[in-house]
Amino acid sequence: MPPDTALSADTAAIRTHGLTKDFGHRRVVDAIDLAVPRGAVYGFLGPNGSGKTTTIRMLLGLARPTHGEITVLGAPVPDRAARVLGRVGALVEGPAFHPQLTGRANLARLDAADARADPRTSAARIEAALTRVGLQQARDKRYRVYSLGMKQRLGIAAGLLAPRELLILDEPTNGLDPQGTREVRHLIGSLAAEGITVLVSSHLLSEIEQVCTHLGVMREGRLVAQAPIDQLRDRGRATLRLVTPDGERAAEVLRGLGAEDVRLAGDVVTATAGDLAPEAAVAALVHGGVAVREFGVRAVSLEDVFIGLTGEGFDVSG
């Protein structure tokens, strides 16, 4: 899929061209062209094993591409990763903290290890990060007693100890209960409202659909779709369902209107609407002498679109 040429280095938080990663003879990321606009919440969606985490590791300079180019916040990665990654927060493959330390103490250890961090402002920045993710009341509890949702939020807080322009989250709701999932989803929404670009990788379609403005869909290492979420929804075409004793005549009328995949089963006629407006179909059927007993329209969901793109379903549970 070609990159979005409308996204320049100034308007893209992430751009890749031909990004490829091989492990031996196995290609796990195959010439993908990501284009993540600044200010977007970009859902990086695909079944487990589709190449999402490997791609994220290359974006962060944790793995070197076999081929291709990466630009993050206008700088090439990995060549100039040190220059730009201080403006990027990340949560990859789950948070890792010391279980016997409190949330605040864990963040203090991370902050002290950052050579770019000013120790004079450490306490204030840690408090601000904890407040931002809603953990200020739990800051002095030991990490081992945190719920899964709290652990994920602390991981995000670690990525927010310094000002960030871009936040990359790999499966941030993995293993969470519904309450924890909602907490993380609301946090992503609040960060986006502050102008932070967020790339969130997930196999949970329902979570991606609720929070994201743009989507990229991976399948077996390839980027099979990339667009604003509304454009992907528009790729789907509604299905018309008609109950009538005049099935043959109804099918003839619908075909004449340009409907596709018209099927007749008893007194039920179904068809893919394409560009045909449902109200126009009803008017033409009645005008054509078809007795319409029932008429309905089933809109195509994002899940339908993704199944068509990937050949398999996604986990749609929240």
Looking at the structure of the chain, the number of domains it has is 2
The reported pLDDT for the residue numbered 141 is: 96
Domain membership of residue 48 (yes or no) is yes
CA distance 218 to 233: 17
pLDDT greater than 50 at residue 5: no
Domain membership of residue 288 (yes or no) is yes
The model's confidence at residue 1, banded by pLDDT at 50, 70 and 90, is very low
Alpha helices in the chain (DSSP H): 52-59, 81-84, 103-112, 122-132, 148-158, 178-193, 205-211, 229-235, 247-256, 278-287, 302-310
Same domain, 175 and 255: no
Same domain, 153 and 73: yes
Domain membership of residue 306 (yes or no) is no
Domain membership of residue 307 (yes or no) is no
The model's confidence at residue 3, banded by pLDDT at 50, 70 and 90, is very low
CATH of the domain at 30: 3.40.50.300
CATH of the domain at 266: 3.30.70.980
pLDDT greater than 90 at residue 72: yes
Contact 187, 159 (CB under 8 A): no
The reported pLDDT for the residue numbered 70 is: 96
Domain membership of residue 312 (yes or no) is no
pLDDT greater than 70 at residue 245: yes
Same domain, 95 and 153: yes
Amino acid at 54: T
Same domain, 63 and 155: yes
Domain membership of residue 59 (yes or no) is yes
Same domain, 142 and 290: no
Domain membership of residue 275 (yes or no) is yes
The model's confidence at residue 9, banded by pLDDT at 50, 70 and 90, is low
Residue 83 token pair: 């220059």
* Domain range for 170: 12-234
Contact 128, 98 (CB under 8 A): no
pLDDT greater than 70 at residue 48: yes
pTM listed for this prediction: 0.75
Instruction: Among 12-16, 188-192, 232-236, name the most confident range.
Output: 12-16
